[in-house]
Structure 1
């Protein structure tokens, strides 16, 4: 399996350092309530104004902080630290929090950005030598409260392969909640059981032409976190039985045009599938299906890893998903 080496870490760090403070081009998730709301990204979001959009900036920062922790001696770690010190200030984060209080911001970045912000805060808390986690905490708590309020309203899971996917956001949010918020943890686990327990054999038509997430693998990953192994294995066999979709249709996808932001999503699909497959394999070990899943995870990673950098439409976000996959590979070595 591909290892997360310092060379890869430095490459990812240089990529993310090149876009988290790059304001333009930029795609806003912003509702204007009047002419006065027509403001540039750095005014609306003085922390997360880079990386083409708010959520990509958030997980670009997650990438940087994660690499700084794992490779503290690499040359880029000093640059990451300096930029984080000047970015994660109380004043700037107060503006980000105030933005959420706008009446028109109820659905801002729901749920993808919500999950990533909690995941960033979880990582920031691991840097005990810095105040970043403490300063991000009010923003994280605001998004946790939004999840708690939203899940009872979400009658059905959103199972598309893009930003609205419920399972992906809850995988990230749940990991934060395990460490920070028992109320949110209980809400996620209860909602997940209600949403997915009775699902039958998966027969979806993925991949869609602009997806970067697998509807079935993100749901499976979430269920693997919520259920204990004794419950999960029968569910896994029920939804993804031997000889079914995994073997017949879960192959690395091809990307026709990496300069097209939507088509470039497919590189992300290969990476996110790799992450899901590797993590699911780790959770079912030593079951006989473990090794085939690991091989499939490696095939998906191999298809996308060479394309993490190149065109900005993918470069502003793909390293985060490559890092998710590589971190899962590292955890698999412990099994």
Structure 2
């Protein structure tokens, strides 16, 4: 399966339909007093749509990526016009002001941080626009938090949801290698500390409402962190029977019984991250099996449609990066 213009246009139309949709909205917001009882748009002048802050961020990543990869699509012209109106210095200042609140220290850590890095990295590739320059102060604000926090996190978080450390490192390292050498060095040191001694992974997954394959995101993280031969040695110890088809769970796509349930539909995202991982390991058949289960359902319900296209794009991205 490949990302072709019709599929890219479909992804873009879905995302354009919700990046400016304020409600319903699931907020990550601490109220310190009555004055903090504000709606999403008042708190987040850019990322107020798409059901929650991080989904809006990565939906903008999807839109800008499609605009760069498929500039001749009609949707790409609309993407540019919408981004020109939203991704401005004034709006970025509003997002940074939210971070300055004492209660926002842990806001979107680390999942939203990582997606913001991915968005800024993509925005900076659009040389004909100032989106990268506008978003740079917000990326730098999160980078400062990242470099302050991760030396204090002694243990990795391995669950297959938002707190997962390896997934955050994948997106963050793609950005840091270009924009922040000190942060890139920290990610490499922390990843080797957290995961370098891992052996014989049982791949007990998926959990009932996970959208990440904890096994595959750890593999992809270490593939970025370790040089080729060192990664192959690590992988041989981490998944010693991979060539024999074990653990068998790694090749079995997850089933989804209710795509209107915001937690159960996470398993479609799980299939997409599995497909992404299999593609990076060079197994196109396993990737295709996982994609085939979930790609037909990206618009079944808003609980999935507000975020699933971004994960499908991770699995299908022709450049294999964020």
Q: TM-score, normalised by structure 2?
A: 0.97
Equivalences, count: 318
Match of 1:254 in 2: 255
Deviations 1:104-161 (A, max 9, x none): 1011000000000000000000001001000000000011111111111110000000
Q: CA 1:204 to 1:248, structure 2 compared with 1: closer, same or farther past 3 Å?
A: closer
Match of 1:89 in 2: 88
CA shift for structure 1 position 242 = 1.9
Moved over 6 A (4+): none
Match of 1:8 in 2: 7
CA contact (8 A) 2:67 2:79 kept: yes
Is 1:145 aligned with 2:141? no
Query: Hey, what's the Cα distance between the residues in 1 that align with 2:246 and 2:279?
Result: 13
Match of 1:274 in 2: 275
Query: Hey, what's the Cα distance between the residues in 2 that align with 1:218 and 1:202?
Result: 13
Match of 2:292 in 1: 302
CA shift for structure 1 position 204 = 4.0
- Give me the CA root mean square deviation: 1.1
Query: Hey, what's the Cα distance between the residues in 2 that align with 1:249 and 1:124?
Result: 37
CA contact (8 A) 1:202 1:245 kept: no
Stretches of structure 2 that go unaligned for 5 or more consecutive residues are none
Deviations 1:30-59 (A, max 9, x none): 000001000000000010000000000000
CA contact (8 A) 1:268 1:321 kept: yes
Match of 1:326 in 2: 316
Query: Hey, what's the Cα distance between the residues in 2 that align with 1:331 and 1:141?
Result: 25
Match of 2:53 in 1: 54
Q: TM-score, normalised by structure 1?
A: 0.93
CA shift for structure 1 position 294 = 2.4
1:1-335 equivalence runs, <5 A:
2-243=1-242, 246-250=246-250, 251-279=252-280, 281=281, 290=282, 293-327=283-317, 330-331=318-319
Deviations 1:226-263 (A, max 9, x none): 00111011110111122577451121110000000000
Stretches of structure 1 that go unaligned for 5 or more consecutive residues are 282-289
- The secondary structure found in structure 2 opposite 1:152 is coil
Deviations 1:177-233 (A, max 9, x none): 011110000000001111111111112421101000011111111000000111011
